[in-house]
Structure 1
Amino acid sequence: MSSTRTPTNADRSRPSTPVSRRGLVRMGTALGAMGLLATATPASAAGDAPDDNPALRKPILVGANPGLQLFDVSGSCTAYLSTWQVQWSTHGAGNALVLWRPDGVRVVGEDPNLALWLADHFVRHFPELDGLPWSTPRFHRSAVHVRLDLASGLYARGGGIDVRMTEVLDRRAFATDRFPLAGVDHSLSLVFAPCGRARALVDGRPQPGAITRGGTPDRPSSSAFLAAAEVWRA
């Protein structure tokens, strides 16, 4: 909604090891973003328990989840912003923003049942936040407006948060059956699009830090990325 991912030509592979979303964010030649290894075998062939057949998993969320992570000059995370545009889920539909900063977690949306579920079930377990403190989210009831375009980028605002991402660098598909949330493997598929520019305002103030960019010209990576056509199954 912060570490390696190497896709095949089809760029849709299933890893044999758990996924690291940090890798997805910095997706380059090593498709480790979201932990993916392009040449890996299907999860079901990698020793899944008999009662955990990915083919039997049911959708729990359909939508989009762009992410933006900022870092200071020392490499420490100064902010992580997860934007959600949920078309359908087991907890309803709607838009939400989840903001992590060292001083706490802010969750914005019109439906607290949906917004807090997104924060607690998904965002708090994303590897982007590995090793960072997670405090009880503070919920702010507010409309969240999201405009997402794989051609031009993202604009989202609500509850004092304003985020923009532009300069889409690439678009590629991703799928895995081994994305762990709270130690439970989930299936995930999406279209990933790293962005070259981004900025976030919170209560009118620009957030400190900058995005990181890397990868190669053929497979660029960025800590500002769009994630569309996103389906989670569990």
Structure 2
Amino acid sequence: MNSDRTPVNSGRAPARSGPDLPSAAIGRRGLVRVGAVLGVTGLLAAAGPAAAAGDAPGADPALRRPILVGANPGLQLFDGAGSCTAYVSTWQVEWSTHGAGNALVLWRPDGVRVVGEDPRLALWLADHFVRHFPELDGLPWSAPRFHRSAVQVRLDLASGLRARGGGVDVRMAEVLDRRAFATDGFPLAGVDHSLSLVFGPCGRAGLRVDGRVQPGEIRRGGTPGRPSSSAFLAAAEVWRA
């Protein structure tokens, strides 16, 4: 999405939109990360201070513990009619409750491909995180097909991203901005998580699968001072639950 990966706040501790994000309240199903944190379909949707009905009692953000530390760039492509043609979530996990390592989660209309060396980690990333990301809101999610393969990730906030493995090749370049983001109200499967990261929208990106260029284009928006894109870097990322 080109909105921001931002969810509504839990109502106990206001989410910090920071100097980089607008503080407009957005419904949970309206979150779209444009990448992971800002933009039309994939940016972190701006977090609002509204309390979410149904939050588990006592879910105090101050008591949440880290479940993942790493990086999670995202790339979403759209056709001329505005439909999503592909979304790939790149993971570089330094530590998590399910281990460490790199993985790629690719969504296309024909199914979900998960690539990595550790199926326990890679499938957890797909099921716990990616399937609930706003970019995929309203899109069908099928049982992931796991491909065991090494995944190489080169992420640089100055120049962009190159990630590949299992027939999936992701490239991003022309980093337009770098800004910090944090919220205590990012919902995954109806449960609020805390998320902080450094977001970098990119002006150019491409995706190949099994050697073929994937159809569709990225979406760019925002303003010169606060650009957004459906291709984005997300580094120094910490999830707490």
Tell me the TM-score normalised to structure 2 length: 0.86
Gaps of at least 5 residues in structure 1 are none
Out of 204, 209, 230, the residue aligned to residue 211 of structure 2 is: 204
User: Hey, what does 2:38 align to over in structure 1?
Assistant: 27
| Aligned counterparts of 1:34 and 1:73: Cα–Cα separation in 2 | 23
| Aligned counterparts of 2:104 and 2:26: Cα–Cα separation in 1 | 29
Specify the SS of the correspondent of 1:220.
strand
On the 8 A contact 1:16/1:43 being kept in 2, the answer is: no
CA, structure 1 residues 76+47, in 2 after alignment: closer, same or farther (shift >3 Å)? closer
CA offset at residue 141 of structure 1? 0.2
| Aligned counterparts of 2:23 and 2:239: Cα–Cα separation in 1 | 14
On the 8 A contact 1:66/1:226 being kept in 2, the answer is: yes
Specify the SS of the correspondent of 1:22.
coil
Give deviations 1:135-180, integer Å, cap 9, x for gaps. Answer: 0000000000000000000000000011100000000000000000
Give deviations 1:16-54, integer Å, cap 9, x for gaps. Answer: 7666651453836x9x943324xx55979x996551100
Q: % of aligned pairs identical?
A: 75
User: Hey, what does 1:172 align to over in structure 2?
Assistant: 179
| Aligned counterparts of 1:131 and 1:17: Cα–Cα separation in 2 | 16
What residue identity is the alignment partner of 2:240? Answer: R
Specify the SS of the correspondent of 1:51.
coil
CA, structure 1 residues 214+18, in 2 after alignment: closer, same or farther (shift >3 Å)? same
CA, structure 1 residues 220+16, in 2 after alignment: closer, same or farther (shift >3 Å)? closer
Specify the SS of the correspondent of 2:105.
strand
On the 8 A contact 1:79/1:207 being kept in 2, the answer is: yes
The reply to whether residue 186 of structure 1 matches residue 186 of structure 2 is no
Out of 51, 55, 58, the residue aligned to residue 62 of structure 2 is: 55
What residue identity is the alignment partner of 1:125? Answer: H
* Displacement over 4 Å in runs of 4+: 3-9, 12-21, 40-44, 46-50
Specify the SS of the correspondent of 2:217.
coil
| Aligned counterparts of 1:21 and 1:92: Cα–Cα separation in 2 | 28
Gaps of at least 5 residues in structure 2 are 7-15
On the 8 A contact 1:86/1:95 being kept in 2, the answer is: yes
| Aligned counterparts of 2:73 and 2:85: Cα–Cα separation in 1 | 17
Tell me the TM-score normalised to structure 1 length: 0.88
The reply to whether residue 107 of structure 1 matches residue 114 of structure 2 is yes
Aligned residues: 228
CA, structure 1 residues 217+196, in 2 after alignment: closer, same or farther (shift >3 Å)? same
